[in-house]
Amino acid sequence: MNTDTSRREEHWQRTRKLMFITLTIWFIFSFVVHWNADALNVFTFLDFPLGFYMAAQGSEVVFVITLFWFVKAQHAIDLDCGFAEEE
């Protein structure tokens, strides 16, 4: 097998794994947390019921953090596999 082909396959496998992790985080904070908001309201965060907080702000904060984490992780994969753009 060609070295270039093996690097492409490694890049795709690692990118796909990162994508599935990111989509799982997105699904949890987009749907699961909101579906279970009543159960989360037993807990409080900054004197707000946790379910209310996660629906109002918490999920958005997690999305922004996830976005920055994804970009950093994808850039590391690109560098390791030799597919990074020149800076």
Over the chain, what is the mean pLDDT?
91
Residues 79/11, Cβ–Cβ less than 8 Å = no
Give me the residues paired with residue 44 across strands.
Answer: 49
The residues that bridge with 48 in the sheet, in sequence order, are: 45
What tokens appear for 35 in the block?
């579906």
- The pTM (predicted TM-score) of the whole model is 0.82
Q: What percent of the chain clears pLDDT 70, i.e. is strictly above it?
A: 95
